[in-house]
Amino acid sequence: DAGVIQSPRHEVTEMGQEVTLRCKPISGHNSLFWYRQTMMRGLELLIYFNNNVPIDDSGMPEDRFSAKMPNASFSTLKIQPSEPRDSAVYFCASSLTAVPTYEQYFGPGTRLTVT
Amino acid sequence: DAKTTQPNSMESNEEEPVHLPCNHSTISGTDYIHWYRQLPSQGPEYVIHGLTSNVNNRMASLAIAEDRKSSTLILHRATLRDAAVYYCILKTGNQFYFGTGTSLTVIP
């Protein structure tokens, strides 16, 4: 398996623009997680899906952020409008299930820079 | 959510064992202890996890205190490729709290 695939790997955009980050989980995995990593706040869980359904979005910072999972093999994280404070590395991870005994497999991340 | 405390940084000589400590005094009975590591410019990578008993796998060993309020990740023979940030995480259900982790430097 190719592992978790994220695109783009790097994104530079101007404040106010819409940004869409994409993730393809490992085939057969039923849970998908979106994280954000910054120097100040470390790794934060934004939202997670189980069987394509959003289960917990309490980590989504504000309404400018939205995430979808239209099918088992694809998810998007959208920021509209983007702001400089959204600059971070965004990771997608997948897991067989969300139960505590299963490990998460992380993608390589998307480095977002908002100017 | 239960949280963990780890030293900010540690150093080890190459080919020597490394013991990475973690305190989790507020752990609950259903919290699993997970360890992940993050190499530079990569996503976190699973290392090992356990609940009550010590655990071994090809990467490392996990020693869990009898009261479960602390644990230690043991790398039996550090290599330069083990230089990374190591996160000790408590997991109940879906929640992962990564904390700040321990940055491990391996000295050749």
Rounded (10°) CA dihedral A80, A56, B99, B101:
-90
Any B CB within 8 A of A49 CB: no
The secondary structure of residue B80, as a DSSP letter, is G
Mean pLDDT of B25-47: 92
Alpha-carbon A100 to chain mean position: 20
Residues of chain A found within 8 Å of residue B95, distances taken between Cβ atoms? 45, 56
User: Which chain B residues have a beta carbon less than 8 Å from that of A101?
Assistant: 32, 49
Mean pLDDT of A4-13: 97
Count Cβ atoms within 10 A of the Cβ of residue A87 and give its class: 0-12 exposed, 13-18 middle, 19 or more buried: middle
| A52 has pLDDT over 80 | yes
Q: Which residue has the tokens 């963990």?
A: B4
Which has the higher per-residue pLDDT, B2 or A99? Answer: A99
Rounded distance, CA B83 to CA B61, Å? 17
pLDDT at A100: 66
pLDDT of residue B22: 96
Q: How confident is the model at residue A61 (pLDDT cuts 50, 70, 90)?
A: confident
Q: How far apart are CA B28 and CA A27, in angstroms?
A: 33
| Mean pLDDT, residues A59-65 taken together | 92
